[in-house]
A and B are shown apart, each in its own frame.
Chain A
Amino acid sequence: MRRFALILLGLVLLQTVGQAQTPGVGAWACSADNVSDAANILCIAASPGGQTRYITDVVSQSTTTTGGFFNIVSGASAPADPCSLSAGAGQTLYPNLGIGNAERFIAPPNNIRAAHFRPITPIRVPKGTDICVIGDANGNPVTVQLSGYAAP
């Protein structure tokens, strides 16, 4: 009877674990549209729960028939100055070359397939920081959609 009770307990725990993996929990998505210059355009503010955001998907496309370069960065959360890199909390995320480097990855022209980066290891965003997109300064704005999840 004791063995039977343990089996029952195990099944109940298995069911509980399954429910903990309900889709959508902690998931987030954001987008920055037609980012046309080197400004930091806010995609999403820091997680309000103090959790760490992880990026699982980066979809990018130029808004013209010429590719546009972009960077994804994070920085101190300040409404008037999202992703403030001057506060010392900022960093480049994609590519992670360090602040001050030129944009390197290209958002493809809008007449070929969009670029979709879906890293096996999600990109970790420093806790308490916004996520921003820095666009192309050469007249080929980019549209970027990011998604991921937040976790402690």
Chain B
Amino acid sequence: MKWRKAVPVLFLASLLAFLGYPWGDQPAQAQSFVPGPSWTCSLDAIGATLTRCALAPTGGDSGTKRFVTDIVAQSTTATAGQFILRTGTGTNCGTGTVSLFPSAATVIRFSAPGNGSAPTVISFRTPLEVPKDSDLCLLGVGTNTVTAQISGYLGF
């Protein structure tokens, strides 16, 4: 009789585990503000060469896309630089290159302020979507090179 009572409990526990219930041992995930696994990449002192920040998701994350939620950019000098985010494949997004931010431009547009003032900080309400199987790259400017940190999550 006791076993019969235990069956629903065991079934419920199995179902909760299947649905990903955290069981209290994953507090960081429970407090996450993003709907998927998070990622961050950073680039330092990027000049006028398109440079990869993050590869397209692979392995267990294959099939997902990167969503960009936050961008922080600053010049490495007292003079502002500018940047653009682009996507593509191959070496440093050199194949099938498509602009992401701003999407209509092909050259640097948004400011990375001089390092005597606050950086550009952008946190999107609607995240930017990196095309599936594409890497994420940044193009800066010579001399007043750009340091940037980009973060987001993986999703479908």
Interface residues of A (CB under 8 A from B): 1, 4, 7-8, 11, 15, 21-24, 27-34, 43, 56-57, 59, 61, 63, 108-114, 116, 118, 122, 143-145, 147-149
Interface-forming stretch among B42-50, B86-94, B119-127? B119-127
Kindly identify which residue among B80, B126, B153 contacts A110, using a CB–CB cutoff of 8 Å: B80
- CB closest residue in chain A, given B154: A23
A8, B126: Cβ atoms closer than 8 Å: no
Q: Could you tell me which residues of chain B, from 102 to 155, have a CB within 8 Å of some CB in chain A?
A: 102-105, 109-111, 113-114, 117-129, 153, 155
Closest Cβ–Cβ distance, residue B102 to chain A (whole Å): 4
Least CB distance from A78 to B in Å reads 20
Question: A11, A15, A29 — which one has the most chain B CB atoms within 10 A of its CB?
Answer: A29
Taking a contact as CB atoms under 8 Å apart, the answer to whether B114 and A24 are in contact is: no
Nearest-Cβ distance from residue A1 to partner chain B, whole angstroms: 8
Binding site for A on B (CB under 8 A): 8, 12, 15-16, 19, 35-36, 65, 67, 79-80, 82, 99, 101-105, 109-111, 113-114, 117-129, 153, 155-156
How far is it, in angstroms, between the C-alpha of A112 and the C-alpha of B111 when the chains are bound? 6
Name the contact of B102 in the complex, choosing from A15, A56, A145 (C-beta under 8 A).
Answer: A145
A4 touches B12 (CB 8 A): yes
Q: Are A59 and B128 in contact (CB under 8 A)?
A: no
Which of B110, B128, B156 interacts with A143 by CB under 8 Å?
A: B110
Asked if A23 and B153 make an inter-chain contact with CB atoms under 8 angstroms apart, the answer reads yes
15 examples of A-B residue contacts, CB within 8 angstroms: A1-B8, A11-B16, A23-B153, A24-B156, A28-B126, A29-B126, A30-B103, A31-B99, A33-B109, A108-B111, A110-B80, A111-B80, A111-B111, A116-B121, A148-B125
A32, A111, A149: which contacts B114 (Cβ < 8 A)? A111
Inter-chain pairs besides A24-B129, A148-B125, 6 sampled, C-beta below 8 Å: A8-B12, A11-B16, A22-B35, A27-B129, A59-B110, A113-B121
